[in-house]
Structure 1
Amino acid sequence: MTTETTTNVGANDEFIVPDDPSLADVADVAAALHTDVGRGLGGEEAERRLKRFGPNELAGAPPVPKWRKFLAQFNDPLVYLLLAATAISLVAWFIERANDPAGAEKLPFDCIVIVLILVVNAVLGYAQEARAEQAVAALSRMAAAHATVLRDGVAVSIPTSEVVPGDVVLLAEGDTVAADGRLFSAAALHVAEASLTGESVPVTKNVGVLEAAAALGDRTNMVFNGTSVTQGTGRFVVTATGMRTQVGKIAGMISAQKEEPTPLQKEIAFVSRVLGLAVCAIAVLVLAMLAFVYGFNSTQDIIDSLLLAVSLAVAAVPEGLAAILTVVLALGVQRMARHHAIVKKLSSVETLGSASVICSDKTGTLTRNEMTVQRVVTPSGEVLLTGTGYEPVGDVTDVDGNEIVAGDGDVRFDAAMTVLRIGAVANDGQLNDDGGIVGDPTEVALIVGERKMLRLMAEASAAPEAPSRYTRVAEIPFTSDRKRMTVIAADAMTGGLLTAFAKGAPDVLLAYCDRIVVGGDVRPLTADDRRRILADVERLSDGAYRTLGSAYRPLGVDAVERIDGIRLDDSGALAIDVADQPDAIEHGMIWAGMVGIIDPPRTEVRDAVAEAHSAGVRTVMITGDHPLTAARIAKDLGIIGESGRALTGDELDRLDDREFAAAVRDVSVYARVAPEHKMKIVDALQEQGEIVAMTGDGVNDAPAVKSADIGVAMGITGTEVTKESAKMILTDDNFATIVAAVREGRSIFDNIRKFLRYLLSSNMGEVLTVFGGVLFAGFLGISEPGADSVTVPLLAVQLLWINLLTDAAPAMAMGVDPSIENVMNRRPRRPGDRVIDARMWSDVLVVGLLMAVVTLIGMDLYLPGGLLTDDSAMGATHDEQIVMARTMGFTILVFAQLFNALAARSATQSAFRGLFSNAWLWGAMALSVALQLVVIYVPVLNAAFGTTPLDPHQWLECIGLAAFVLVGSELYKLVLRTFASR
């Protein structure tokens, strides 16, 4: 007895669905779901159900409230210290205000400004993280899985999230099951359910009603969300989506797991920690030096010194590195997506720049994937079909170009029609009325070829056959091991007589034939016939044609009952699944002929292969096609030279491990390979230290794609299983896109190094400025002889302001910097190479030291007793002199960091190369200059930041001294380039 539940479908509809659909007949399930298994749902009804039930997605972790994300920006020990010091300063101000109202400041400017800067910094950090989250979410949407469903009787591909209860979903080998559902059609259907049940062996599915309730693993007439089709085809009615599926119920019991940081993020976090510890040590040292040089004579001295030390630590540690890194990676990956390469994980960008070998399939990736039947070779003669692409328009000619007219009784036309008819019946492809295709382009090419012939027959009034003449009643599906497909179909024009139609690799299919049809007459297949057919295969393959053979076997009706017990049921369908016993059908077949399908190389791929070669990236073709076809295409594209050849799977099997490793090192074209060969090739390349990108589309490619360092799935022809296994998806299935992605990956990695070089060297400049200002205070005139209070070189608020101005916008703009170097003109980066290597640390120290020197020189000019004291510094009080000197040093340090932003765009190339190519960087620099002007010239901010207005000649001094950072960096790069060229 089946228990039932009531579920609302629409606004006014209710239906009753069995709790366990495996115990109910398909017709009852479909009726309960208000759906037609032959047409599926209508578009409007599907939208209504989607609103009712929600997206077909598993619920994630509850979103973190925005206020908590904002407060998390303050979750840093250094910020806590700064806030504590600010609170102490505020208390001291209140005490001073109470004891001496006239002498104390009217407002605690230091406290107010520090808190405001921290709030603004938190707002910027929050905005960066929000942008990163949005970018990552956008990438997730682009990489979303798709399912093929029937909508108004038409097969369409939709995002899995839009599947609703009552949808009719079509399954094929390599698909991921989009929802839970009741099967009503299954042909040799096997589903891997290990992810749900733990069963390691794929489950064979059927459509019969179960006699009793069973465990999930034994519900053979059901399919479940998240499982994958390993073989065969099928159709099912969706009974549950989202969290109502079996996997959804499990997911509801599992807490969300935090995503593991990428290697690059780990290294950045490590650098931040090390830098933080180093700066904290320096801050403590500065505090000790202040105590030693001046002595703390008052509470205010302690507070000022503490604020300086903590502010130095806060300003010197680039807390926003992780957020900037995520934003830069996400924006770069979005640029790649706009160019047809969807990178599923940001971490994959790190590996893209290191790729040294690209293993690519041929069809659709190196070629245009516009499969077109151009030649039909039959025992009665050879004909050519004109027209390209998927529009069923063209003519039939002989090999000399003479037109062959339908209806003239030419046996070559009729024989070609037979070959194409077989290919169109033994077919899982679909050609829509609008020219769109569903399924394998090779299969659709056969349908197009048949449609061309039918159109010519109709135009000649030659009694054309209807495309729907044959009704499929059973199928033995194609697999990569079988290399053939057989369909049993009933012929409406002969009263339902059954015929087995087969298509597949000619050399494979020929082995199952013992007869041949010539001029409409069937006779035994001779040895000479076989040699002639195989010679035709060689000839077509050498011309870069993909060949598919066609054969058939009349079964009648009575004959079927005599084949190993196979019989028809009352509805006219075969009573058992013939896919379980292919030998009963696939023998004694009649050879009809073969087609030559051309898929020309993509014009842009040759240039992409050459570019990859110049970048030290080797291209390897791995295909299931004929070796002559593979070699011809590889030569045309420049993958191999004219003397090169393809190595076959059989030849690979005869090699021992040492010979196999040697072959993989030298051979760049592999043909007629099995899935295990692809995996073995990838493993061998990786053992040789190569970083391998591997393309794939079929389920048989998934293991090699997953094993590769960069698995690349085809977005158009790829199966869902392969897409899930891959790290990158090509939406145009184009090899040139892979090379473009490698180039973009290298550029992104270069940009990461750019802003790291900029941030670290700029922060190093701040640290060395304060450290040098305290250490050499007496020489520079920063401290007044006999002074009884602490005089710091720069105020805490000034350091924090510099950090706010220069760490956010310029660093982010450098993350999207156009490349000023040819990133594809160097060898791939090795995985073990550090992002921040010894060379970068030397750059950081050189630029940081130069920045500190020019800043302290600018301050020294305006301090009495200094080494280079300007006459204009005389006549002012010490307080006025120190304010002017700090303003100069403060401004010089800001401009020095902006000049550093230009210099840091390359470790070796001149900053003047592509100087104005990054409008975002110039905009960020202009914003920083404008804000600095506000701080210098707005009176209320003068009091808050301890600044004073500057005269024009002082501005010239500031800019001139700051420009030495750019000049010094240019000279340093010139020396490096000179030594590198020797």
Structure 2
Amino acid sequence: MCRRSRTDRVVGGVWGVAGWTPCHRAPRRVCDDPGVAVPSSEGSALGRAEAVADLGVDPEAGLSGPEAARRLERDGPNALVASAPVPRWRTFLAQFQDPLIYLLLAAVVVATGAWWVEGAGGWPVDSVVIAVIVVLNAVLGYSQETRAEQAVAALQRMTEVRATVVRGGRAVQVPAREVVLGDVLVLAEGDSVAADARVVTANALRVAEAALTGESTAVSKAPGTLPDDLPLGDRTNAVYRGTAVTAGTGRAVVTGTAMDTEMGRIARLLESTVRQPTPLEREIAFIGRFLGIAVVVIAVVVMATVWLISDVRTAEDAVTVLLLGVSLAVAAVPEGLPAVLSVVLSVGVQQMARRDAIVKDLSSVETLGSASVICTDKTGTLTSNEMTVQRVVTASGSAEVTGAGYRPEGVVHDGDAVLGTTADPDHEPQRAEGTVVLSGGSLASNSELRQEEGQWSVLGDPTEAAFLVAERKMGLTERRVRRFTRVGEAPFTSGRKRMSTVHLDHERDDEPVLVTKGAPDVVLARCTRYRRGMETLVLDEATRARALADVEDLSGRAMRTIGVAYRPLGRSGSDGAGTRLLDTAYLEAGEVPAEVAEELEQDLVWVGTVGMIDPPRAEAGEAVRDAHRAGVRVVMITGDHPSTALRIAQDLGITGPDGTALTGAELDRLDEEGLARAVTEVDVFARVAPEHKLQIVDALQSQGHVVAMTGDGVNDAPALRSADIGVAMGITGTEVTKEAGAMILRDDNFSTIVVAVRQGRVIFDNIKKFLRYLLSSNMGEVLTVFLGVVLAPVIGLTDASAEAVVLPLLATQILWINLVTDSAPALALGMDPETDDVMARRPRRRGERVIDARMWSGILAVGAVMAVVSLLTIDVFLPGGLVEGQDDLTVARTAGFTTLVLAQLFNVLNSRSQTVSGLKDLWSNRWLWAAIVFGVVAQVAVVHLPVLQTAFGTAALDPFHWLVCTLLASCVLWSDELIKLVERARDRRRAGR
């Protein structure tokens, strides 16, 4: 559809028969290279022709594909870089920057020194083993961090902003990072400006620049030449990266990208800004610090106890005690928690992305599991967003439109007569009215209906596209395109609730005509006449009431209603509006300013109303039921008619048969107390403006709710930012809402929100799983060593050797346990599928601790059982003690060491749930079994391979030893199963009260 007036003046060239011819002039000094950006201040002083020519671009055709690729390769991506990327070798070395690692390195030095003092005979086994373990830990940490970085980078690629540019004469969407100097940006309401650019055309274009200037009021933009010393906020002929288009349309030629933009200048000032940790990260860090302090104290106590009860005489004895304390401290503190947390979150978020829920920030996952209210739009979210005109109602009656979706297959008929094809005079009036309604709605539209490879698709608003489809079914499209040329537009806004366009009617000597479509009540209020057949009559009150009743009838059938009207502007005579309009410069860029639109949108001729249907998605009802089962309330907030909204809400189970819908006008009349009561009692809000969404979010949050809010328009951005979880629409959403939202729905589907809530709960559960595992296993190590030292005479350790210091576990064995049983099982638990029914419980409360008292008691209980069975194994195989055995200290210690390792592997199954049996869905997590098998194989190797026996002080075990170790280690699983059985019985009793 032509958007350019016949009187348009060309920017930067002249229009000839062959098309665009560039202007020729001497190049400016600052623009010898057409790819050099025109500085903002100097660029504003250039005329449009100069600015465009300096960048070597045709503003109608844009850059060619090869030229854009060349400039991208030359200048690099259009992305802000706050600091240089960290080299991989520095990331690896950073793994050693930990106080506990410093302790281990100090232990290597001490052990090597003792080995040297004692004659340096053989290899310094302890030193070598500890050094190897330190390096292996660093490799594991590096690989985990790299994997998390790669996952986050992949997530960023999914959520990157896209821009519409003109390439080779066609408007195409490209990632914002691929925008280059000289690109022609196509701007529309809701777009985020991808780069600094010079405006070349504008139609009521307004841009919010608060991000740069702090001014809350949107700035009107227009082509023109301005002084070169204006401050940024007054440069009305330029747009800037990171700002948002709030109204209108326009085009702008890119003059600056990446760090050469105003936003890039600010980014350089923020290079030293440090990212603040999320609440979950802060709690994990707190746990690490708490455990670090506690374990250091325990390590000191253990070393002091060993020193007091043992006869420490030699440097070797002292080094043994020191290595024990250091190893115990290192093994007991889960220093890998941050890395494991990052990997689990990033992998979980990628899994959500595969389900079409793109979470932009990892920290949002913890909020998702706490959502207690989902405030959702109707159109496209709860419904399929394929608007289809089903009825056309005019003064002469109503007609049915067959077919569904965007494929233009179907007819418009009244009874047996098909409108648009019959010559029956009885149907002539209705055919004439139907023609004006459908063609009028198609004229006042910015959407396009496309057919590619046999598939019909829509570019633009689905409501506008519905007119195009219905018009094509009636066979009117070709005549409408030939007859009318658009010369102006007053765009739709949420405040106006209507859109008007001005066209030249070539069948009436290019007479200008205004076409308006929008909310029927709004459009009808501006009408003084109506169309019946080929006549224009005075709109009396009875006809007005009948038209409103038709709207109510269509809304009662859950249809969305759009009213259509028009006004011949005339070139002469008493009206004269068309003459005044065409005599102005307003239409040079297709712009109809608000004040002119307000004058023209009066004395309209009412034509009729269309009823569109957007049926509920098949899966939406089940998703609403899942949300309610999970204790999550669903609230519908829509701009549609109350009857339509209420019908859909009742069909989906959002509200009951006695539910009511509250309108935006009714919300405006409520005081603070009334608003609080309304958001508690009402589940459907209709005919609301974007500011009402913000009021509803704030009211719900003040009641303690964690709120998820959906949005697609630019005016929804404040509500999305204010909500705990802003959910932007990936298909219909504007770039501004995608930036404002914490989550993007790639399919605009409500059920995806519920899937995301479920997945968020699963991820949070998995975080608790690996915390439960790591802390209970480390607690088992600490208690084994501590109780082994204290109870050494009781279990036969004291009499088992003539050495001054006799320990239940060697320092290298403790480090081995830390290496083998920490990272792999923890990561596997982080990817565990849903074990508990996460949607059968209430949302997590604000401020609820990750590790509560119940979980701490379970950690202590499991750790105690691990220590008891490990020490009992030593006692079973040692002579003396509580149970008489026959093996030497090395074999008994190896058996106790093996029992502790196997107990931790059994504990992996325990940790999958705090209440559900660890044997449920036993084979559902292949990664878990891979980690367990790896741990068993590694333990067999350390027990039976001679080189590892020397390194870790182990001896070979026979099958009987392995059987006893396995049976005793399994007590960790069976004891926890008993505790869970008691817990489930107690929970059932509480639920039955």
- 1:18/1:24 contact within 8 Å kept: no
Which residue does the alignment assign to 1:661? 676
Question: Displacement, 1:576?
Answer: 7.5
CA deviation map 1:949-975 (0-9, x unaligned): 110111101101101111111111111
Q: In terms of mean alpha carbon deviation, does 81-90 or 150-159 score higher?
A: 150-159
Distance, in Å, in 2 between the alignment partners of 1:971 and 1:289 is 34
Which residue does the alignment assign to 2:111? 89
Q: Secondary structure at the match of 2:561?
A: strand
Change in Cα spacing, 1:789 to 1:659, as seen in structure 2 (3 Å) is same
Instruction: Show the 5 A alignment for 1:256-405.
Output: 256-398=272-414, 400=415, 402-405=417-420
Question: Displacement, 1:865?
Answer: 2.1
Instruction: Show the 5 A alignment for 1:529-540.
Output: 529-540=543-554
- 1:567/1:574 contact within 8 Å kept: no
- 1:5/1:19 contact within 8 Å kept: no
Change in Cα spacing, 1:573 to 1:498, as seen in structure 2 (3 Å) is farther
Do structure 1's residue 792 and structure 2's residue 807 form an aligned pair?
Answer: yes
CA deviation map 1:459-516 (0-9, x unaligned): xxxxx50525422222211111110111112223334221111111000001111011
Question: Displacement, 1:391?
Answer: 2.1
Q: Secondary structure at the match of 2:203?
A: strand
Distance, in Å, in 1 between the alignment partners of 2:32 and 2:357 is 41
Question: Displacement, 1:324?
Answer: 0.4
- 2:38/2:256 contact within 8 Å kept: no
Do structure 1's residue 452 and structure 2's residue 473 form an aligned pair?
Answer: yes
2:69 to 41, 44, 47: 47
Q: In terms of mean alpha carbon deviation, does 705-714 or 151-160 score higher?
A: 151-160
Which residue does the alignment assign to 2:93? 71
Do structure 1's residue 547 and structure 2's residue 561 form an aligned pair?
Answer: yes
Instruction: Show the 5 A alignment for 1:727-746.
Output: 727-746=742-761
- 1:566/1:576 contact within 8 Å kept: no
Distance, in Å, in 1 between the alignment partners of 2:983 and 2:471 is 67
Question: Displacement, 1:433?
Answer: 3.5
- 1:566/1:574 contact within 8 Å kept: no
Letter in 2 for 1:289: T
Q: Secondary structure at the match of 2:809?
A: coil
Which residue does the alignment assign to 1:894? 901
- 2:586/2:593 contact within 8 Å kept: no
Change in Cα spacing, 1:794 to 1:921, as seen in structure 2 (3 Å) is same
1:679 to 694, 718, 728: 694
Distance, in Å, in 2 between the alignment partners of 1:183 and 1:493 is 34
CA deviation map 1:123-175 (0-9, x unaligned): 00010011111111111111111112223333322211111222222212221
Do structure 1's residue 718 and structure 2's residue 740 form an aligned pair?
Answer: no
Q: In terms of mean alpha carbon deviation, does 490-499 or 811-820 score higher?
A: 490-499
Q: Secondary structure at the match of 2:252?
A: strand
TM-score by length of 2: 0.93
- 1:359/1:620 contact within 8 Å kept: yes
Question: Displacement, 1:74?
Answer: 1.4
Which residue does the alignment assign to 2:18? none
Distance, in Å, in 2 between the alignment partners of 1:228 and 1:2 is 33
Question: Displacement, 1:339?
Answer: 0.6
Distance, in Å, in 2 between the alignment partners of 1:856 and 1:526 is 97
Do structure 1's residue 443 and structure 2's residue 443 form an aligned pair?
Answer: no
- 2:31/2:55 contact within 8 Å kept: no
- 1:619/1:639 contact within 8 Å kept: yes
Change in Cα spacing, 1:904 to 1:211, as seen in structure 2 (3 Å) is closer
Which residue does the alignment assign to 2:789? 774
- 1:228/1:721 contact within 8 Å kept: yes
- 2:381/2:750 contact within 8 Å kept: yes
2:178 to 145, 162, 185: 162
Change in Cα spacing, 1:827 to 1:7, as seen in structure 2 (3 Å) is farther
Distance, in Å, in 1 between the alignment partners of 2:590 and 2:738 is 36
Which residue does the alignment assign to 2:971? 964
Which residue does the alignment assign to 1:595? 610
Question: Displacement, 1:69?
Answer: 1.2
Which residue does the alignment assign to 1:618? 633
Question: Displacement, 1:664?
Answer: 1.1
Distance, in Å, in 2 between the alignment partners of 1:632 and 1:354 is 29
Q: Secondary structure at the match of 1:907?
A: coil
Question: Displacement, 1:26?
Answer: 2.6
Do structure 1's residue 705 and structure 2's residue 720 form an aligned pair?
Answer: yes
1:917 to 924, 932, 937: 924
Distance, in Å, in 2 between the alignment partners of 1:197 and 1:571 is 28
Which residue does the alignment assign to 1:461? none
Aligned residues: 957
1:191 to 173, 182, 207: 207
Which residue does the alignment assign to 1:173? 189
CA deviation map 1:628-648 (0-9, x unaligned): 000110011011112212111
Change in Cα spacing, 1:291 to 1:225, as seen in structure 2 (3 Å) is same
CA deviation map 1:76-115 (0-9, x unaligned): 21221221122111111122125xxxxx4x1111110110
Change in Cα spacing, 1:449 to 1:755, as seen in structure 2 (3 Å) is same
Distance, in Å, in 1 between the alignment partners of 2:849 and 2:973 is 26
2:515 to 483, 501, 517: 501
2:239 to 195, 200, 223: 223
Q: Secondary structure at the match of 1:5?
A: helix
Letter in 2 for 1:81: L
Which residue does the alignment assign to 1:474? 488
Do structure 1's residue 22 and structure 2's residue 44 form an aligned pair?
Answer: yes
- 2:439/2:480 contact within 8 Å kept: no
CA deviation map 1:795-842 (0-9, x unaligned): 111000100111010000000001121100111110221101100100
Q: In terms of mean alpha carbon deviation, does 141-150 or 768-777 score higher?
A: 141-150
Do structure 1's residue 59 and structure 2's residue 81 form an aligned pair?
Answer: yes
CA RMSD of aligned residues (A): 2.1
Change in Cα spacing, 1:568 to 1:212, as seen in structure 2 (3 Å) is farther
Instruction: Show the 5 A alignment for 1:768-847.
Output: 768-784=783-799, 787=802, 789-847=804-862
Unaligned runs of 5+ in 1: 99-103, 459-463, 874-880
- 1:360/1:620 contact within 8 Å kept: yes
Distance, in Å, in 1 between the alignment partners of 2:689 and 2:307 is 75
CA deviation map 1:351-370 (0-9, x unaligned): 11111110000000000001
Which residue does the alignment assign to 1:878? none
Distance, in Å, in 2 between the alignment partners of 1:213 and 1:633 is 56
- 1:711/1:727 contact within 8 Å kept: yes
Distance, in Å, in 1 between the alignment partners of 2:288 and 2:644 is 54
Letter in 2 for 1:451: R
Which residue does the alignment assign to 1:950? 957
Question: Displacement, 1:723?
Answer: 1.4
TM-score by length of 1: 0.94
Question: Displacement, 1:577?
Answer: 4.3
Distance, in Å, in 2 between the alignment partners of 1:252 and 1:5 is 24
- 1:39/1:154 contact within 8 Å kept: yes
Question: Displacement, 1:582?
Answer: 2.5
Letter in 2 for 1:934: A
CA deviation map 1:833-853 (0-9, x unaligned): 110110010000000000000
Unaligned runs of 5+ in 2: 1-25
Distance, in Å, in 2 between the alignment partners of 1:894 and 1:142 is 41
CA deviation map 1:9-63 (0-9, x unaligned): 68xxx99999733233333333333333223233333222222222111123111
- 2:726/2:740 contact within 8 Å kept: yes
Do structure 1's residue 411 and structure 2's residue 426 form an aligned pair?
Answer: no
Q: Secondary structure at the match of 1:270?
A: helix
Distance, in Å, in 2 between the alignment partners of 1:82 and 1:216 is 56
Do structure 1's residue 848 and structure 2's residue 866 form an aligned pair?
Answer: no
- 1:514/1:588 contact within 8 Å kept: yes
Letter in 1 for 2:760: G
Distance, in Å, in 2 between the alignment partners of 1:407 and 1:973 is 76
Change in Cα spacing, 1:475 to 1:520, as seen in structure 2 (3 Å) is same
